[in-house]
Amino acid sequence: MEAKLFRESIGMVLRELRLGQGRTLREVAQDGHVSLGYLSEVERGHKEASSEMLAAIAASLRVPLWHILRLVARDLAKRDTGGGEANLARAA
């Protein structure tokens, strides 16, 4: 299994949260003061969002940034070829 890029996982999580709220890209972009094109690129995993942009998007989605990062960590662990969360616990 090929390793997933961090930006791809962030994009997937952001899209799932947005769609789960029944909101459009335009609504989230406007609420977060982020350009529509940029948000689209982030959701598709083509752009790396800065921490400030992620915080703005999280605020627009009305979820704490730590929640987004937790979902991203779970996604990456699930896809880890070496065993996922069990390996992370041993490495800590």
Contact 28, 60 (CB under 8 A): yes
Rounded Cα gap, residues 26 and 9, in angstroms: 21
Number of H helices, E strands in the chain: 6, 0
8 Å CB contact between 60 and 31: yes
CATH superfamily of 6-80: lambda repressor-like DNA-binding domains (1.10.260.40)
**Which residues of the chain are modeled with pLDDT < 70?**
1-3, 81-92
The alpha carbons of the chain give a radius of gyration, in whole angstroms, of 14
Amino acid at residue number 76: L
| pLDDT value, residue 92 | 37
pLDDT score for 83: 52
